[in-house]
Amino acid sequence: MADLKVLGISGSLRKASLSMAALRACNELLPAGMTLSYAVIGDLPLYNQDIFDAGLPEPAKRLRAAVSAADGALIASPEYNFSLTPALKNAIDWASRPPNQSWQDKPVAVFSASAGPMGGARVQYDIRRILGQLWAHVLPRPEVFIGSAQSKFDAQGKLTDEATRKFLTDLLAGFGTWITRMQKK
Ligand SMILES: Cc1cc2nc3c(=O)[nH]c(=O)nc-3n(C[C@H](O)[C@H](O)[C@H](O)COP(=O)(O)O)c2cc1C
């Protein structure tokens, strides 16, 4: 697989976030040739068209540049009240405004890690719907839902669940194939 640069985006800003912990675990599970870096979205202001019109704030410039430069984005998020966290929706919105909206034709893989037994099934479909209308190419399968996520990491945030490790490994391998396929278009 050619050199693929993937940008990880956590939908949770919490220091002990399980989504961020899962993204960190992905670093050990990448297929050969893929590298993973992490976006910072916690310092984005709340989206306001007046701020956008006055000139992109640095955190928004940085996020847009990072998404544009990446071969693909890997989004991991908890579910908040059956949908997106405000931090993730805000980041998607900041990167979505023309000109050069960053999600256009971008390969994206999504997984969720949430406390509920469904592991964020509902948020995942909302993320897919939003990114689809921005013309991102969202990997349809495999789907990964890390349910009862608090039981799958130790106190240091290390992923201890072997089945989850395997699901993420398969997701990352599939994402590598997907990025390569989308780049041929
Ligand atoms: C505002 C709020 C709403 C939540 N709603 C849901 C929900 O709809 N479904 C669910 O599975 N968990 C829900 N949770 C629990 C989160 O899944 C849990 O706190 C998770 O650990 C947060 O992700 P993080 O560890 O990455 O910060 C909610 C938590 C918060 C703070």
- Residue environment code for 42-70, b if the CB has 16+ CB neighbours within 10 A, otherwise e: eebeebeeeeeeeeebebbebbbebbeeb
Minimal-distance CA residue to ligand 1 atom 3: 80
Report the residue among 19, 79, 122 best suited for mutation to probe ligand 1: largest number of ligand atoms under 8 A from its CB.
79
Report the residue among 13, 17, 77, 80 best suited for mutation to probe ligand 1: largest number of ligand atoms under 8 A from its CB.
80
- Do 147 and 159 meet the contact criterion of CB atoms below 8 Å apart? no
Minimal-distance CA residue to ligand 1 atom 1: 80
Does the beta carbon of 114 sit less than 6 angstroms from any atom of ligand 1?
yes
User: Nearest Cα to 157, choosing from 12, 37, 7?
Assistant: 12
3-state secondary structure 52-109: HHHCCCHHHHHHHHHHHHCCEEEEEECCECCECCHHHHHHHHHCCCCCCCCCCCCEEE
Predicted local confidence at residue 2, as pLDDT: 72
Does the beta carbon of 81 sit less than 6 angstroms from any atom of ligand 1?
yes
The predicted model gives 75-87 an average pLDDT of 98
Minimal-distance CA residue to ligand 1 atom 6: 80
Distance (Å) from CA 115 to ligand 1 centroid: 6
The per-residue pLDDT for range 117-165, each reduced to its tens digit, is: 999 999 999 999 999 999 999 999 999 999 999 999 999 999 999 999 9
Residue appearing with tokens 């992923």: 159
Distance (Å) from CA 64 to ligand 1 centroid: 26
- pLDDT exceeds cutoff 70 at 183: yes
Average pLDDT, the chain: 97
- pLDDT exceeds cutoff 80 at 184: no
